[in-house]
Amino acid sequence: MRRRPETRIGRRFAALGDEGRAGLVAFVTAGDPDPETSRRILRGLPAAGADLIELGMPFSDPMADGPAIQASSQRALKAGMTLTGVLSLVRDFRTDDDATPIILMGYYNPIYVYGVDRFLADAKAAGVDGFIVVDLPPEEEADFCLPCLDAGLNFIYLATPTTDEARLPRVVENASGFLYYVSIAGITGTGSATADAVAAAVSRLRARTDLPIGVGFGIKTPDQAAAIARVADAAVVGSALVALAAGDDPVNAVLGRTRDLAAGVRGARR
């Protein structure tokens, strides 16, 4: 039986639908470049125009990520970030914002080591809405996706250019929150798909699911974000934001770029 926990994610997409526009999903790595700066970036994202937040749980071996997110994870780990620290950042964020959805994104091992049940309870209490765990395909759903649904949180599945028609029903079966379309066969922060290819893929996905569709990988500029916003329900930007966390004045740099991207998304005609 299909279960779709209701969280801030569904409410936010419903509100965006009422506004007649797509959303901006901003990805930043928790603890990058250090816990305090990361806290300020996180708290500033909604006002800068992020409609949903993906918060990266740093991992030592981010196999699906390109150089920008690899470096970002390394900075965060070096500055002492842990999974417990990630949840502290979420709790802090929730003292002022009870509406913006927070999705934790990362790899399974730190969660497995923390303990799935304890992690789900702690994440829910902290105010997390859902998860993207890159190395948990539907074949391994018993590990974390199903317990996640039992806990009333969303597990967001990835569909990719290699996900064929035969496989797509399995991918969407226990998906909730939204479906994340990875627009290129590759790692984060590298190539970009053409708008036409994304439009074709999104319509293929819409035939299989009524979940909102977010599109990510390779979206760097406000124009690219706008192009995605015309065909999908959300544009996800990660590498282009985290690359700015390494430079001078990371808070203003990340939030400034978020404002530019949000303007692109909000200005896009559907």
Partner 1 sequence: MEIPNSFRNGPYPDGHFGIHGGRYVAETLMPLILELEKAWKESKTDPAFRAELDGHLKHYVGRPSPLYFARRLTARLGGAKVYFKREDLNHTGAHKVNSCMGQILLARRMGKTRIIAETGAGMHGVATATVCALFDLPCTVYMGCKDIERQSANVYRMKMMGAEVRPVTAGAGTLKDAMNEAIRDWVANVGTTYYLIGTVAGMHPFPAMVRDFQCVIGEETRAQILDLEGRLPDSLVACIGGGSNAMGLFHPFLDDPSVRIYGVEAAGHGIDSGRHAASLTGGRPGVLHGNRTYLLMDDDGQIEEAHSISAGLDYPGVGPEHAWLHELGRVDYVAITDDEALDAFRLCSRLEGIIPALESAHAVAHAIRLAPTLPADHLMVVNLSGRGDKDLDTVAAIDGVSL
Stretch that binds partner 1, among 35-43, 47-55, 161-169, 195-203 (CB under 8 A): 161-169
- Does 88 bind partner 1 (CB under 8 A)? Our answer is no
> For residue 87, how many other CB atoms are within 10 A of its CB?
22
Residue 223 binds to partner 1 (criterion: CB under 8 A): no
CB of residue 47 vs partner 1: minimum separation in angstroms?
31
d(CA 229, CA 21) in angstroms, rounded, equals 8
Sign of CA dihedral 182, 186, 188, 190: negative
Our finding on whether 158 is near partner 1 (CB under 8 A) is yes
**Helix, strand, or coil here: 132?**
strand
- Indicate the residue type of 185: A
100 exposure class (CB count in 10 Å sphere: 0-12, 13-18, 19+): buried
Q: Which is nearer to partner 1, 82 or 252 (CB)?
A: 82
DSSP 24-65: EEEEEETTSS-HHHHHHHHHHHHHHT-SEEEEE---S--TT-
135 binds partner 1 (CB under 8 A): yes
Instruction: Pick the closer one to partner 1 by CB: 187 or 240.
Output: 187
Q: State how far the Cα of 208 lies from the Cα of 205, in Å rounded to an integer.
A: 5
Q: Respond yes or no: is residue 19 known to be catalytic.
A: no
Quick check: 263 binds partner 1 (CB under 8 A)?
no
Residue 145 CB, nearest approach to partner 1 (Å): 12
Q: By CB under 8 A, is residue 147 in contact with partner 1?
A: no
Instruction: Give catalytic residues, as residue numbers.
Output: 54, 65
Interacting residues with partner 1 (CB under 8 A): 59-64, 66, 70, 77, 82-84, 107-114, 134-137, 139-140, 157-164, 167, 171, 182, 185-187, 190
